[in-house]
Amino acid sequence: MTQATTIDGKAMAAELSAEISAATAKLVANGKTKPGLAVVIIGEDPASQVYVRNKKRTAEACGFNSVQHTLAENVTQEEVLALIDDLNTDPAIHGILVQLPIPAHLDELTVTQSIVPEKDVDGFHFQNIGMLTSGNTDGAFVPCTPAGCMLMIEDQLGKDLSGLNAVIIGRSNIVGKPIASLLLKANATVTICHSRTKDLPQVARNADILVAAVGRPQMVKGDWIKPGAVVIDVGINRIEVEVDGEKKMRLVGDVDFAEAVEVAGAITPVPGGVGPMTIVMLMSNTLQSAQRA
Protein backbone atom coordinates (compact mmCIF):
# COMPACT_ATOMS: atom_id res chain seq x y z
CA MET A 1 0.00 0.00 0.00
CA THR A 2 1.49 3.34 -1.00
CA GLN A 3 1.43 6.24 1.42
CA ALA A 4 -1.10 9.01 1.01
CA THR A 5 -0.26 12.20 -0.86
CA THR A 6 0.40 14.97 1.67
CA ILE A 7 -1.59 18.05 0.64
CA ASP A 8 0.81 21.00 0.93
CA GLY A 9 -1.24 23.89 2.29
CA LYS A 10 1.81 26.14 2.48
CA ALA A 11 2.56 25.78 -1.25
CA MET A 12 -1.10 26.27 -2.22
CA ALA A 13 -1.34 29.34 0.02
CA ALA A 14 1.85 30.82 -1.45
CA GLU A 15 0.45 30.43 -4.96
CA LEU A 16 -2.84 32.09 -4.01
CA SER A 17 -0.99 34.81 -2.13
CA ALA A 18 0.96 35.68 -5.28
CA GLU A 19 -2.30 35.94 -7.25
CA ILE A 20 -3.83 38.21 -4.57
CA SER A 21 -0.71 40.44 -4.55
CA ALA A 22 -0.90 40.79 -8.35
CA ALA A 23 -4.62 41.65 -8.24
CA THR A 24 -3.96 44.19 -5.46
CA ALA A 25 -1.18 45.85 -7.46
CA LYS A 26 -3.54 46.08 -10.46
CA LEU A 27 -6.27 47.64 -8.30
CA VAL A 28 -3.87 50.30 -6.98
CA ALA A 29 -2.44 50.93 -10.48
CA ASN A 30 -6.00 51.73 -11.63
CA GLY A 31 -6.20 54.45 -8.98
CA LYS A 32 -8.43 52.47 -6.58
CA THR A 33 -7.97 52.30 -2.80
CA LYS A 34 -5.76 49.42 -1.70
CA PRO A 35 -7.61 46.71 0.26
CA GLY A 36 -7.81 47.58 3.96
CA LEU A 37 -8.04 44.93 6.67
CA ALA A 38 -8.74 45.90 10.29
CA VAL A 39 -8.11 43.30 12.98
CA VAL A 40 -9.50 43.85 16.47
CA ILE A 41 -7.84 41.85 19.25
CA ILE A 42 -9.09 41.98 22.83
CA GLY A 43 -6.92 40.85 25.75
CA GLU A 44 -3.66 38.93 25.85
CA ASP A 45 -4.49 35.40 24.63
CA PRO A 46 -1.10 34.05 23.40
CA ALA A 47 -2.54 31.90 20.58
CA SER A 48 -4.60 34.87 19.35
CA GLN A 49 -1.48 37.07 19.36
CA VAL A 50 0.27 34.58 17.07
CA TYR A 51 -2.70 34.40 14.67
CA VAL A 52 -2.99 38.18 14.51
CA ARG A 53 0.73 38.57 13.80
CA ASN A 54 0.46 36.03 10.96
CA LYS A 55 -2.59 37.81 9.52
CA LYS A 56 -0.83 41.18 9.66
CA ARG A 57 2.30 39.81 8.01
CA THR A 58 0.29 38.15 5.22
CA ALA A 59 -1.83 41.27 4.65
CA GLU A 60 1.26 43.43 4.30
CA ALA A 61 2.89 40.90 1.97
CA CYS A 62 -0.21 41.10 -0.26
CA GLY A 63 0.12 44.89 -0.41
CA PHE A 64 -2.88 45.59 1.84
CA ASN A 65 -3.40 48.43 4.28
CA SER A 66 -3.24 46.46 7.54
CA VAL A 67 -4.63 48.03 10.71
CA GLN A 68 -4.60 46.49 14.17
CA HIS A 69 -6.67 47.65 17.14
CA THR A 70 -5.54 46.11 20.43
CA LEU A 71 -8.07 46.53 23.23
CA ALA A 72 -7.63 45.82 26.95
CA GLU A 73 -9.05 42.64 28.49
CA ASN A 74 -11.54 44.73 30.55
CA VAL A 75 -12.87 46.82 27.63
CA THR A 76 -16.65 47.44 27.73
CA GLN A 77 -19.06 46.12 25.13
CA GLU A 78 -20.00 49.74 24.26
CA GLU A 79 -16.35 50.57 23.48
CA VAL A 80 -15.98 47.54 21.22
CA LEU A 81 -19.21 48.33 19.34
CA ALA A 82 -18.19 52.01 18.97
CA LEU A 83 -14.89 50.92 17.36
CA ILE A 84 -16.66 48.52 14.99
CA ASP A 85 -19.11 51.27 14.10
CA ASP A 86 -16.19 53.56 13.12
CA LEU A 87 -14.64 50.78 11.01
CA ASN A 88 -18.01 50.02 9.35
CA THR A 89 -18.13 53.58 7.99
CA ASP A 90 -14.39 53.96 7.18
CA PRO A 91 -13.98 53.85 3.36
CA ALA A 92 -10.32 52.78 3.69
CA ILE A 93 -11.35 49.57 5.48
CA HIS A 94 -12.83 46.72 3.43
CA GLY A 95 -12.57 43.87 5.92
CA ILE A 96 -13.16 43.80 9.68
CA LEU A 97 -12.20 40.85 11.82
CA VAL A 98 -12.59 40.42 15.57
CA GLN A 99 -10.11 37.79 16.72
CA LEU A 100 -11.93 35.06 18.69
CA PRO A 101 -12.18 34.01 21.46
CA ILE A 102 -13.10 37.27 23.20
CA PRO A 103 -13.31 37.77 27.01
CA ALA A 104 -16.36 36.18 28.64
CA HIS A 105 -17.96 39.48 29.77
CA LEU A 106 -18.49 40.47 26.11
CA ASP A 107 -21.33 39.04 24.03
CA GLU A 108 -19.70 37.33 21.04
CA LEU A 109 -22.91 37.22 19.00
CA THR A 110 -23.61 40.95 19.41
CA VAL A 111 -20.01 41.78 18.50
CA THR A 112 -19.80 39.59 15.38
CA GLN A 113 -23.26 40.64 14.13
CA SER A 114 -22.37 44.35 14.49
CA ILE A 115 -19.92 44.13 11.57
CA VAL A 116 -21.72 45.11 8.35
CA PRO A 117 -22.15 42.05 6.05
CA GLU A 118 -20.14 43.62 3.21
CA LYS A 119 -17.08 43.96 5.49
CA ASP A 120 -17.61 40.67 7.34
CA VAL A 121 -14.63 38.88 5.76
CA ASP A 122 -14.83 36.10 8.39
CA GLY A 123 -18.28 35.14 7.05
CA PHE A 124 -19.93 35.10 10.50
CA HIS A 125 -22.80 37.57 9.84
CA PHE A 126 -26.22 35.93 9.60
CA GLN A 127 -26.70 37.45 6.14
CA ASN A 128 -23.53 35.79 4.83
CA ILE A 129 -24.41 32.51 6.59
CA GLY A 130 -27.91 32.61 5.07
CA MET A 131 -26.55 33.22 1.57
CA LEU A 132 -24.08 30.35 1.94
CA THR A 133 -26.72 27.95 3.30
CA SER A 134 -29.11 28.77 0.45
CA GLY A 135 -26.35 28.19 -2.10
CA ASN A 136 -26.03 31.88 -3.12
CA THR A 137 -22.29 32.02 -2.56
CA ASP A 138 -21.47 34.55 -5.28
CA GLY A 139 -22.26 37.63 -3.23
CA ALA A 140 -21.47 36.10 0.17
CA PHE A 141 -18.30 35.86 2.21
CA VAL A 142 -17.60 32.21 2.99
CA PRO A 143 -15.81 31.54 6.32
CA CYS A 144 -12.09 31.29 5.64
CA THR A 145 -11.30 27.80 6.96
CA PRO A 146 -14.08 25.99 5.04
CA ALA A 147 -13.25 28.02 1.90
CA GLY A 148 -9.61 26.89 2.15
CA CYS A 149 -10.65 23.28 2.80
CA MET A 150 -12.82 23.28 -0.33
CA LEU A 151 -9.95 24.47 -2.51
CA MET A 152 -7.83 21.59 -1.20
CA ILE A 153 -10.63 19.07 -1.86
CA GLU A 154 -11.19 20.45 -5.38
CA ASP A 155 -7.47 20.23 -6.05
CA GLN A 156 -7.66 16.47 -5.36
CA LEU A 157 -11.10 15.57 -6.73
CA GLY A 158 -12.23 18.40 -9.04
CA LYS A 159 -15.12 20.82 -8.59
CA ASP A 160 -17.95 18.31 -9.11
CA LEU A 161 -18.18 15.84 -6.23
CA SER A 162 -21.24 13.94 -7.55
CA GLY A 163 -21.49 10.39 -6.21
CA LEU A 164 -18.99 10.98 -3.39
CA ASN A 165 -19.77 10.61 0.30
CA ALA A 166 -18.47 13.40 2.54
CA VAL A 167 -18.40 12.97 6.32
CA ILE A 168 -17.73 15.93 8.60
CA ILE A 169 -16.85 15.33 12.24
CA GLY A 170 -17.80 18.52 14.11
CA ARG A 171 -20.87 20.75 13.79
CA SER A 172 -19.47 24.20 14.62
CA ASN A 173 -20.76 27.35 12.92
CA ILE A 174 -17.18 28.25 11.97
CA VAL A 175 -16.21 25.02 10.17
CA GLY A 176 -18.63 22.07 10.32
CA LYS A 177 -21.85 23.66 9.07
CA PRO A 178 -20.33 25.94 6.39
CA ILE A 179 -18.16 23.16 4.90
CA ALA A 180 -21.32 21.01 4.74
CA SER A 181 -23.03 23.76 2.68
CA LEU A 182 -20.04 24.01 0.31
CA LEU A 183 -19.85 20.23 -0.14
CA LEU A 184 -23.60 20.03 -0.83
CA LYS A 185 -23.25 22.79 -3.43
CA ALA A 186 -20.52 20.68 -5.10
CA ASN A 187 -23.01 17.74 -5.25
CA ALA A 188 -21.44 15.54 -2.55
CA THR A 189 -23.67 13.48 -0.25
CA VAL A 190 -23.01 14.97 3.16
CA THR A 191 -23.21 13.57 6.70
CA ILE A 192 -22.47 15.80 9.71
CA CYS A 193 -21.33 13.92 12.82
CA HIS A 194 -20.56 15.05 16.34
CA SER A 195 -19.85 13.70 19.83
CA ARG A 196 -23.31 12.10 20.05
CA THR A 197 -23.22 10.29 16.72
CA LYS A 198 -23.72 6.56 17.17
CA ASP A 199 -20.82 4.35 15.98
CA LEU A 200 -18.79 7.26 14.64
CA PRO A 201 -15.87 5.12 13.31
CA GLN A 202 -18.32 3.13 11.16
CA VAL A 203 -19.88 6.31 9.72
CA ALA A 204 -16.42 7.74 9.01
CA ARG A 205 -15.43 4.58 7.08
CA ASN A 206 -18.06 5.41 4.42
CA ALA A 207 -16.39 8.72 3.60
CA ASP A 208 -14.66 9.42 0.31
CA ILE A 209 -14.01 12.85 1.84
CA LEU A 210 -13.45 13.03 5.60
CA VAL A 211 -13.26 16.43 7.32
CA ALA A 212 -12.15 16.34 10.98
CA ALA A 213 -13.00 19.52 12.89
CA VAL A 214 -13.78 18.37 16.39
CA GLY A 215 -10.90 19.77 18.49
CA ARG A 216 -9.77 16.46 20.01
CA PRO A 217 -6.13 15.51 19.44
CA GLN A 218 -5.59 12.48 17.17
CA MET A 219 -9.14 11.22 17.70
CA VAL A 220 -9.57 9.90 14.15
CA LYS A 221 -7.59 6.67 13.85
CA GLY A 222 -6.31 4.89 10.75
CA ASP A 223 -9.04 2.24 10.92
CA TRP A 224 -11.70 4.98 10.73
CA ILE A 225 -10.59 5.84 7.22
CA LYS A 226 -11.78 4.36 3.94
CA PRO A 227 -8.77 3.33 1.81
CA GLY A 228 -8.00 6.09 -0.68
CA ALA A 229 -10.17 8.76 1.01
CA VAL A 230 -9.26 12.46 1.01
CA VAL A 231 -8.75 13.50 4.65
CA ILE A 232 -8.89 17.17 5.65
CA ASP A 233 -7.66 17.74 9.21
CA VAL A 234 -8.84 21.09 10.58
CA GLY A 235 -7.73 20.42 14.18
CA ILE A 236 -4.93 22.37 15.86
CA ASN A 237 -4.14 20.87 19.26
CA ARG A 238 -1.09 21.35 21.46
CA ILE A 239 0.00 18.18 23.22
CA GLU A 240 2.95 17.39 25.45
CA VAL A 241 5.43 14.85 24.08
CA GLU A 242 8.71 13.51 25.38
CA VAL A 243 11.76 14.02 23.14
CA ASP A 244 15.07 12.63 24.43
CA GLY A 245 13.79 12.71 28.01
CA GLU A 246 12.58 16.31 27.67
CA LYS A 247 8.94 17.37 27.66
CA LYS A 248 8.01 19.50 24.65
CA MET A 249 4.78 20.89 23.20
CA ARG A 250 3.84 19.62 19.77
CA LEU A 251 1.08 20.63 17.35
CA VAL A 252 -1.15 17.79 16.19
CA GLY A 253 -4.44 17.58 14.34
CA ASP A 254 -7.69 15.76 15.08
CA VAL A 255 -6.45 12.88 12.91
CA ASP A 256 -3.72 10.42 13.93
CA PHE A 257 -1.50 11.35 10.96
CA ALA A 258 0.98 8.44 11.28
CA GLU A 259 -1.88 5.90 11.06
CA ALA A 260 -4.02 7.80 8.54
CA VAL A 261 -1.21 8.39 6.04
CA GLU A 262 -0.99 4.60 5.53
CA VAL A 263 -4.66 4.34 4.49
CA ALA A 264 -5.83 7.63 2.97
CA GLY A 265 -5.37 8.70 -0.66
CA ALA A 266 -4.50 12.28 0.31
CA ILE A 267 -4.26 14.04 3.68
CA THR A 268 -3.51 17.49 5.07
CA PRO A 269 -0.71 17.67 7.65
CA VAL A 270 -0.79 19.67 10.90
CA PRO A 271 0.88 22.12 10.86
CA GLY A 272 1.24 23.18 7.20
CA GLY A 273 -2.14 22.06 5.88
CA VAL A 274 -5.40 23.94 6.51
CA GLY A 275 -3.80 26.74 8.62
CA PRO A 276 -1.94 28.62 5.86
CA MET A 277 -5.00 28.33 3.58
CA THR A 278 -7.27 29.90 6.23
CA ILE A 279 -5.17 33.06 6.39
CA VAL A 280 -4.88 33.41 2.61
CA MET A 281 -8.68 33.00 2.18
CA LEU A 282 -9.12 35.92 4.60
CA MET A 283 -6.97 37.98 2.20
CA SER A 284 -9.02 36.72 -0.75
CA ASN A 285 -12.28 37.84 0.95
CA THR A 286 -10.77 41.26 1.77
CA LEU A 287 -9.62 41.72 -1.84
CA GLN A 288 -13.13 40.80 -3.07
CA SER A 289 -14.63 43.36 -0.69
CA ALA A 290 -12.27 46.06 -2.01
CA GLN A 291 -13.09 45.14 -5.63
CA ARG A 292 -16.83 45.38 -4.92
CA ALA A 293 -16.37 48.72 -3.13
Give the DSSP letter string of 214-280: S--TT-B-GGGS-TT-EEEE---EEEEEEETTEEEEEEE-SB-HHHHTTT-SEE--SSSSHHHHHHH
202 included as an active-site residue: no
Q: Which of 119, 120, 122, 288 is catalytic?
A: 122
159 included as an active-site residue: no
Over residues 123-143, the mean pLDDT reads 93
CA separation for the pair 259, 254 (Å, rounded): 12
Mean per-residue pLDDT over the chain, rounded: 95
pLDDT digits (tens, 9 = 90+) for 88-127: 999 999 999 999 999 999 999 999 999 999 999 999 999 9
CA separation for the pair 179, 251 (Å, rounded): 23
**Percent share of the chain, pLDDT over 70:** 100
Residues whose CB falls within 8 Å of the CB of residue 1, separated by 6 or more in sequence, listed in order: 227, 262, 263
Residues forming CATH 3.40.50.10860 domain(s) in the chain = 31-116
How does residue 138 score in pLDDT terms, banded at 50, 70 and 90?
A: confident
Q: Which of 3, 8, 34, 55 is catalytic?
A: 55
pLDDT digits (tens, 9 = 90+) for 42-51: 998 888 888 8
Q: Which of 99, 119, 177, 218 is catalytic?
A: 99
Residues forming CATH 3.40.50.720 domain(s) in the chain = 143-275
pLDDT digits (tens, 9 = 90+) for 156-193: 999 999 999 999 999 999 999 999 999 999 999 999 99
CA separation for the pair 266, 246 (Å, rounded): 32
199 included as an active-site residue: no
pLDDT digits (tens, 9 = 90+) for 49-93: 888 999 999 999 999 999 999 999 999 999 999 999 999 999 999
Residues whose CB falls within 8 Å of the CB of residue 98, separated by 6 or more in sequence, listed in order: 40, 42, 80, 84, 111, 112, 115, 122
Domain with residues 31-116, CATH architecture: 3-Layer(aba) Sandwich (3.40)
Could you tell me the pTM of the whole model?
0.94
Per-residue confidence (pLDDT) for residue 1, from 0 to 100: 64
pLDDT digits (tens, 9 = 90+) for 231-290: 999 999 999 888 888 999 899 999 999 999 999 999 999 999 999 999 999 999 999 999
Lowest mean pLDDT among 193-197, 216-220, 283-287: 193-197
Fold of 143-275: Rossmann fold (3.40.50)
